[in-house]
Amino acid sequence: MTKHRVVVTGIGIVSSLGLGKDPFWENILAGKSGISRVTLFDEKYQSYCKIAGEIPGFDSKQFMEPKQAKRMDRFIQFAVAASKLAVEDAKIDLSKENPDRVGVVIGSAAGGFETIEKNFRILVEKGPDRVSPFTVPMLIVNMAAGWVSMLHNARGPNSCTVTACATSTHSIGDAYRIIERGDAEVMFAGGTEAPVTALCMAGFAAARTLSSRNNEPERASRPWDKARDGFVMAEGGAILILEQLDHAIERGATIYGEVAGYAMTGDAYDIVAPCTDGEGAKRAMEVALKDAKLSPSEVNYINAHGTSTLLGDRAETIAIKRAFGDHAKTVAVSSTKSMTGHLLGAAGAIEAAISILAIRDSAIPPTINLENVDSECDLDYVPNTARRGVEVNVAMSNSFGFGGHNACLVFKKYLD
Q: Is 22 helix (H, G, I), strand (E, B) or coil?
A: helix
Closest of 401, 412, 338, 324 to residue 373, by C-alpha: 338
Q: What sign results for the dihedral spanned by CA atoms 309, 403, 110, 80?
A: positive
Say how far residue 251 (Cα) sits from the centre of its chain.
28
Given the residues 165, 275, 377, 408, the one annotated as active site:
165
Non-local CB neighbours of 230 within 8 Å, separated by 6+ positions: 49, 208, 209, 210, 211, 212, 308, 309
pTM: 0.97
Q: How confident is the model at residue 230 (pLDDT cuts 50, 70, 90)?
A: very high
Q: Is 379 helix (H, G, I), strand (E, B) or coil?
A: coil
Over residues 96-124, the mean pLDDT reads 98
What DSSP line would sit under 320-346, residue for residue? HHHHHGGGGGTSEEE-THHHH-B-GGG
Q: Is 305 helix (H, G, I), strand (E, B) or coil?
A: coil
Backbone phi and psi for residue 346, each to the nearest 5 degrees, phi listed first: -95, -5
Q: What is the pLDDT of residue 416?
A: 82
Burial class of residue 314 (count of CB atoms within 10 Å of its CB; 0-12, 13-18, 19+): middle
Is the pLDDT assigned to residue 285 strictly greater than 80? yes
* Cα distance between residue 339 and residue 364, in whole Å: 14
The whole-chain average pLDDT of the chain stands at 97
pLDDT tens, 22-81?
999 999 999 999 999 999 999 999 999 999 999 988 999 999 999 999 999 999 999 999
Is the pLDDT assigned to residue 290 strictly greater than 80? yes
pLDDT tens, 85-95?
999 999 999 99
Q: What sign results for the dihedral spanned by CA atoms 374, 378, 379, 382?
A: positive
* Cα distance between residue 111 and residue 140, in whole Å: 6
Is the pLDDT assigned to residue 228 strictly greater than 90? yes
Burial class of residue 380 (count of CB atoms within 10 Å of its CB; 0-12, 13-18, 19+): middle
Over residues 267-272, the mean pLDDT reads 94
CB atoms within 10 A of CB 340: 30
Q: Is 181 helix (H, G, I), strand (E, B) or coil?
A: coil
DSSP single-letter state for residue 404: T
pLDDT tens, 122-151?
999 999 999 999 999 999 999 999 999 999
Given the residues 305, 377, 405, 408, the one annotated as active site:
305
Long-range contacts of the stretch 92-100 (C-beta < 8 A, 24+):
92/9, 92/10, 92/186, 92/241, 92/251, 92/253, 94/152, 94/153, 94/154, 94/186, 97/185, 97/186, 98/185, 99/153, 99/154, 99/155, 99/156, 100/155, 100/156
Q: What is the pLDDT of residue 306?
A: 98
Is 165 noted as a catalytic residue in this protein?
A: yes
- The amino acid sitting at 188 is F
Q: What is the pLDDT of residue 377?
A: 97
Is 305 noted as a catalytic residue in this protein?
A: yes
* Cα distance between residue 349 and residue 205, in whole Å: 24
Given the residues 152, 247, 342, 405, the one annotated as active site:
342
Is 405 noted as a catalytic residue in this protein?
A: no
Q: What is the pLDDT of residue 205?
A: 96
* Cα distance between residue 372 and residue 222, in whole Å: 10
Exposure string (b/e) for 123-138, b if CB count within 10 Å is 16 or more?
Answer: eeeeeeeeeeeebebb
